Amino acid sequence: MERPTVLECRNLWKLYGAQAEAVLARHGGAPTPEALREAGIVPAVRQADVTVARGEIFVIMGLSGSGKSTLVRCLSRLIEPTAGEIRFEGRDLLAMSEAELIDLRRHRMGMVFQHFALLPHLTVLENTAFPLEVQGVDRRTRLERAREVIELVGLTGRETRYPHQLSGGQQQRVGIARSLIVEPDLWFLDEPFSALDPLIRREMQDELLRLQARLQKSIVFITHDFDEAIRLADRIAVMRDGAIVQTATPEELVLRPATDYVAAFTRHIPRAKVMRLATAARPLTGADFAGDLPASALVATVADRIEAAGKPFRVIGAAGEVLGQVDARTIVDILLGRDLPA
């Protein structure tokens, strides 16, 4: 069943320069990069279309300067787009008053950024509870809720510590707890782990996936790291020079890149890390099977089991239907990058 849309934008532009709106209008709302350069306009975001479904991790990725952080700030209206349409649960975000936006951000949206921005004079408990203090929630209620969220992110026992007494990963957990305390429906995370060491970064990715399995938030996640993107994302939008060049699942990006740029981004990614058994399945050739495996399983997670079995496995779809089989030969072909037979 298709999930309902939480956030969407259509034909979104963010241009910097004198008379940007006039330049946009003069070119029929769709100026070329060359036309913008000639007019002295810097296009931070160009003709972006984004749709985020309820409970989805939607990753926006690209190199530095690609426009991804500007786009997410437009989506939350932290900066004003030059043109386009943004809707949150069907409501026109660009038509909202400042008061309506503040109320929306305080109660329906959570935000986590690369720089933790913790208040140094407040403890972990007080930092976490701070958004509820801003809302005017009484002290007892907000501290009780803060303790619940601190437990959720694995910081129980550190409530009385100050930010300078925490590691980078622990500080980021406080930032996550602080954004979750308002129980947001939509969660923006702008390169939240990029300042962390690789091992801590991996740990925080695991933490995010654990939280998402439990909370099922609608998440817009910004990163420049494709390995991080494919690990976390349900879908990925790849940006270049302010434009989204392809939006697809990790599997589709690796197996069917829309442009040479996307192909270059994905070339180093082993297919087994993104390919699901539904794609790998071949037609049934017999009746003797080692067992059944779900079509949604990633090849990399079941490859050893299939190779060791000596018999093929049936691949089973979400409705219980048999989609085909996978065997050791198929797994070896995928791992070696060979083309699979039709």
3-class DSSP assignment, residue 66:
coil
Alpha-carbon distances, residue 313 vs 20, 298, 300, 319, 342 (angstroms): 59, 14, 15, 17, 18
Q: What would the mean pLDDT of 175-183 be, rounded to a whole number?
A: 90
Distance CA 80, CA 25 (A): 17
Class of domain 272-335: alpha beta
What superfamily would CATH give domain 55-69+95-108+184-269? P-loop containing nucleotide triphosphate hydrolases (3.40.50.300)
Which letter does DSSP use for residue 93 in this model?
A: G
Distance CA 2, CA 244 (A): 23
Q: What would the mean pLDDT of 224-242 be, rounded to a whole number?
A: 93
Q: Is the pLDDT of residue 2 over 80?
A: no
Distance CA 312, CA 218 (A): 37
Q: Is the pLDDT of residue 160 over 70?
A: yes
Distance CA 13, CA 143 (A): 41
Q: Domain residue spans in the chain?
A: 55-69+95-108+184-269, 272-335
The residues that bridge with 189 in the sheet, in sequence order, are 112, 221
The pLDDT of residue 183 is: 87
87-96, 193-202, 214-223: which range is least confident on average? 193-202
Q: Is the pLDDT of residue 341 over 70?
A: no
Residues 6+ positions from 121 with CB-CB distance below 8 Å: 162
Token pair for 323: 């989609």
Alpha-carbon distances, residue 333 vs 154, 186, 280, 286, 340 (angstroms): 41, 40, 10, 20, 7
Token pair for 97: 């008053």
Q: For 191, phi and psi rounded to 5 degrees?
A: 45, 55
Q: Is the pLDDT of residue 9 over 90?
A: yes
Residues 6+ positions from 61 with CB-CB distance below 8 Å: 68, 222, 223, 224, 225, 226, 229, 236, 237, 238, 239
250-301 tens-digit pLDDT: 999 999 999 999 998 888 889 999 999 999 999 999 889 999 999 999 999 9
42-87 tens-digit pLDDT: 999 999 999 999 999 999 999 888 999 999 999 999 999 999 999 9
The pLDDT of residue 336 is: 85
Q: What would the mean pLDDT of 204-229 be, rounded to a whole number?
A: 92
Same fold, 55-69+95-108+184-269 and 272-335: no
Side chain identity at residue 9, one-letter code: C
Residues 6+ positions from 266 with CB-CB distance below 8 Å: 226, 253, 254, 257
